[in-house]
């Protein structure tokens, strides 16, 4: 069945995903502060605000701004937006800083992205961390979500696994947003099967998503042990666990973020990915959704986005 998704509905879904992504990023990165322990979050003791967001949110804001302005991702425009808005102190990966500097100084993005990591291209988790709002925008088509995720990824991540990570997250967010519109929570195994079906079966991200499906019902710590928690900062080591968490806790944003914090590793990014997918389903300020108090504690989003 096809249906018409109006632009304002797309934008609402994408903005809710961005709220979940940015709060996950900002709260997750608080757990790199010495002396802070995941038990505090479980006990309801929140870090003092403001929770500053990082590169994950800065780049996701550019993705949403492009969708809001043009209704689609144009790779050339997105590459320039990423490069011009990059504030390196926000915690960008070393490969990303170099690629974005090259683009800012006139190197075409295909050349810049292909030059990363001695010509392998980056398989970092940076293309996956920023893409959930794009998936939510395409709640009516996982195929379109996957195509546009690829377009959004390639401007910085030329390695096939870096791109696959973004495709996987976008398809999951598309399905989550669609489920919200339908009022029907997807079965975790079916959600992961649909994500796997969108990926190259020869790839490592694909293999990780299949393994995540086999681990449904196991404790989160066991899933993180088997799948990785992002400590290698690659898509392969990050995306399978985040999809396990999102599929398992799609109805409960705070619990999903706690699972990321407790798993350790690249917590700002696992919480950004999970938060973006889950909030596409739950929304904001409702039971199970992004808590209003968490949204208020997060540093405001950049002025250039809120002005647009």
Can you name the residues that pair with 284 across neighbouring β-strands? 290
Name the binder of 233 from ligand R7I, Mg ion, none, CB < 5-8 A by kind: ligand R7I
Q: Does 125 bind ligand R7I (CB under 6 A)?
A: yes
Interface pick for ligand R7I out of 80, 114, 117, 141 (rule CB under 6 A): 117
Is position 268 an interface residue for ligand R7I (rule: CB under 6 A)? yes
123 touches which of ligand R7I, Mg ion, none (CB within 5 to 8 A by kind)? ligand R7I
Establish how many alpha carbons lie within 13 A of residue 243's alpha carbon, considering only the half-sphere containing its beta carbon: 41
Quick check: helix, strand or coil at residue 234?
Answer: strand
| Interactions with Mg ion, residue window 215-244 (CB under 5 A) | none
Do the Cβ atoms of 136 and 280 come closer than 8 Å? yes
* 268: enclosing H helix or E strand: helix 267-282
- Find out whether 200 is annotated in a ligand binding site: no
Query: Could you say whether residue 66 binds ligand R7I (CB under 6 A)?
Result: no
DSSP symbol at 289: S
298 lies in the site for ligand R7I, by CB under 6 A? no
Per-residue string for binding with ligand R7I, 215-234, x by CB under 6 A?
Answer: ------------------xx
95 binds ligand R7I (CB under 6 A): yes
Three-state DSSP state, 308:
coil
Does the annotation place 55 within a ligand binding site? yes
Q: Which of residues 127-156 bind ligand R7I (CB under 6 A)?
A: 129
Q: Which of 20, 24, 28, 126 binds ligand R7I (CB under 6 A)?
A: 126
* Cβ 122 to Mg ion shortest distance, Å: 14
Q: For residues 59 and 83, is the Cβ–Cβ distance under 8 A?
A: no
CA 47 to chain CA centroid, Å, is: 22
Residue 182, burial from CB neighbour count under 10 angstroms (0-12, 13-18, 19+): exposed
The binder of 151, among ligand R7I, Mg ion, none, by C-beta within 5 to 8 A per type, is: none
Give the nearest residue (CB) to Mg ion.
54
Q: SS3 sequence, 155-210?
A: CCCCCHHHHHHHHHHHHHHHHHHHHHHHCCCCCHHHHHHHHHHCCCCCCHHHHHHH
Q: Which of 296, 294, 290, 293 is nearest to 253 (CA)?
A: 290
| Residue 91 contacts Mg ion per CB under 5 A | yes
123 binds ligand R7I (CB under 6 A): yes
Assess 203 for contact with ligand R7I (CB under 6 A): no
Distance CA 151, CA 241 (A): 24
276's contact among ligand R7I, Mg ion, none, with CB below 5 to 8 A by partner kind, is none
Find the binding residues for Mg ion in span 19-58 (CB under 5 A): 54-56
Binding residues: 54-56, 266, 268-269
> Residue numbers of the site for ligand R7I (CB under 6 A)?
54-56, 91-96, 116-117, 120, 122-126, 129, 159, 233-234, 266, 268-269
């Amino acid at each position: 069945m096809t249906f018409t998704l109006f632009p304002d509905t797309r934008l609402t879904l994408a903005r809710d995903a961005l709220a979940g992504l940015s709060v996950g990023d900002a709260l997750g990165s608080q757990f790199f502060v010495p002396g802070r322990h995941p038990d505090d979050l479980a006990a309801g003791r929140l870090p003092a605000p403001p929770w500053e967001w990082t590169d994950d949110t800065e780049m996701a804001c550019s993705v949403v701004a492009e969708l809001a302005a043009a209704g689609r991702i144009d790779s050339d425009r997105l590459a320039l937006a990423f490069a011009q808005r990059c504030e390196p102190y926000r915690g960008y990966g070393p490969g990303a800083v170099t690629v974005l500097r090259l683009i800012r100084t006139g190197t075409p993005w295909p050349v810049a992205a292909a030059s990363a990591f001695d010509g392998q291209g980056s398989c970092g988790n940076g293309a996956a961390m920023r893409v959930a709002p794009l998936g939510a925008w395409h709640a009516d088509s996982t195929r379109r979500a996957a195509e546009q995720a690829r377009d959004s990824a390639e401007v910085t991540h030329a390695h096939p696994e870096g791109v696959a990570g973004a495709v996987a997250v976008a398809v999951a967010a598309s399905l989550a947003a669609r489920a919200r519109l339908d009022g029907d929570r997807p079965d975790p195994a079916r959600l992961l099967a649909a994500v796997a079906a969108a990926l190259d079966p020869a790839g490592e991200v694909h293999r990780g998503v299949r393994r995540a499906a086999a681990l449904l019902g196991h404790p989160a710590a066991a899933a993180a042990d088997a799948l990785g928690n992002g400590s290698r900062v690659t898509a392969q080591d990050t995306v399978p666990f985040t999809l396990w968490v999102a599929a398992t806790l799609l109805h409960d944003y705070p619990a999903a973020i706690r699972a990321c914090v407790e798993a350790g590793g690249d917590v700002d990014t696992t919480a950004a990915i999970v938060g973006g997918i889950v909030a596409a389903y739950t929304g904001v300020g409702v039971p199970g959704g992004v808590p209003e108090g968490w949204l208020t504690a997060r540093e405001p989003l950049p002025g250039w986005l809120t002005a647009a």
